[in-house]
Copies of this chain bind each other. A is one copy, B any other.
Amino acid sequence: MTGVLPPGSVIGILGSGQLGRMLAVSAAELGFRVHVFGDTSGPAFDVAASTTVGPYEDLGAITAFAETVDVVTYEFENVPLGAAAAAAAVRPVRPGARALEVAQDRLVEKRFLSDIGLPVAPFANVDNLNDLEDALATLGTPAILKTCRFGYDGKGQVRITSAEESDWALDAIGRAPAVLEGVVPFDCEISVLCVRGIDGRTAVYDVPLNSHKHGILDTSTVPAPVPAEVCEKARAMAARVAEALDYVGLLAVEMFYLGKDKPEPLIINEIAPRVHNSGHWTLDACGVSQFENHIRAVAGWPLGSVARHSDAVMTNLIGADVEQWAELAAEPQACLHIYGKNEARPGRKMGHVTRLSTLSGK
């Protein structure tokens, strides 16, 4: 089959963080060699066969990197489009540049989702104070002002409770191009982890419920306590996104579940064109993890089973949480993962632990 990379091929990964690390390990388990390119040395470097440090803006370095590999993928959605294009000029880049364009800009993303008929919260483009006042008049308060670009883990966004806060809110987000989103009351947040192969087939993991602390993912619990038909709908919506992007790899789609009596029970919050923190439980609860399935997809392999053998609760270890490693290691139900970062700064993702229903003390 065209585009299929045999074991021994080299997977290039842009990004040296923990997601790159877990991708690199999964690639190695399938017999691939891994070359990681990062703007700094990071956790992925310790498990990669080759590494390069350089700025993503150095297109010569990106081209040289791409020439050493058989396919290029990435662990973060803010890969500069220029870097993706430079890599794509010499090797396949999967997922493609279109997924990056859409995911890098909230406005482009929301328009894309609306255009393919998928529900999102009401939104308006905000470039200045006039735009914001108009948008608040239409959408009402409370509402959330979010920068179009570079927001993550609750950064780059501010909640507005009255129109008088407009000027302050624009300052708070650095007067960057933004989107105002209406606040839609919801029961819970779920996410959908969908993988799509180069043959266009998709597979979708069971849906986790996500809870946050200080704007950062705290736990993902699978199965989510959400009606089965809602989960099915969520899975179909994610697959629709993947198809519309002609996506190859693992796509994460965050959604809000509004409640069972709502005519439209789900809206899409945002998409991430990469493996996702809310899918880390697949490492321990499934035969084939999100990381392995991403690697399979970008290597042109058949997708692996997304079947789950256990119920699971994944909990992030943020900052000093990782100091509990000894207690966690002694818990019989816990599968512990530590990312090998040097310094446990506040808010930094240092590891995670997944507790499985099927493991008892023994």
Contact = CB atoms under 8 A, between A and B. Distances in A.
A336 interface: yes
| Chain copies in the assembled complex | 2
A98 interface: no
Interface string A230-255: 00000000000000000000000000
A111 to B, nearest CB: 34
Interface stretch (A4-12, A215-223, A256-264): A4-12
Interface residues of A, number: 54
Given A49-B45, A305-B362, A329-B302, A356 B31 contact: no
A30 interface: yes
Contact of A47 (B47, B296, B307, B334): B47
B361 A305 contact: yes
Given A309-B310, A332-B305, A359-B309, A46 B30 contact: no
Contacts of A288: 335
Contacts of A310: 309
- Which of A7, A322, A339 gathers the greatest number of chain B CB atoms within 10 Å? A7
A325 interface: yes
A21 interface: yes
A32 to B, nearest CB: 7
A333 interface: yes
A149 interface: no
Contacts of A30: 329, 336-338
B358 A33 contact: no
A287 B335 contact: yes
A307 B358 CA distance: 8
A28 B351 CA distance: 12
A86 interface: no
Contact of A307 (B29, B32, B336, B359): B359
B21 A28 contact: yes
Interface in A315-362: 322, 325-326, 329-330, 332-340, 342, 351, 356, 358-362
Interface string A25-51: 100111111100000000001111100
A306 interface: yes
A195 to B, nearest CB: 12
A287 B46 contact: no
Given A326-B302, A358-B309, A46 B28 contact: yes
A228 B32 CA distance: 40
A88 to B, nearest CB: 26
A119 interface: no
B46 A34 contact: yes
Contacts of A140: none
Interface of A: 4, 6-8, 21, 24-25, 28-34, 45-49, 203, 284, 287-288, 296, 301-302, 304-307, 309-310, 322, 325-326, 329-330, 332-340, 342, 351, 356, 358-362
8 interchain residue pairs of minimum CB distance: A31-B338, A309-B358, A46-B49, A302-B330, A305-B332, A307-B362, A287-B359, A7-B338
6 contacts: A7-B325, A8-B340, A31-B325, A34-B46, A47-B48, A305-B362
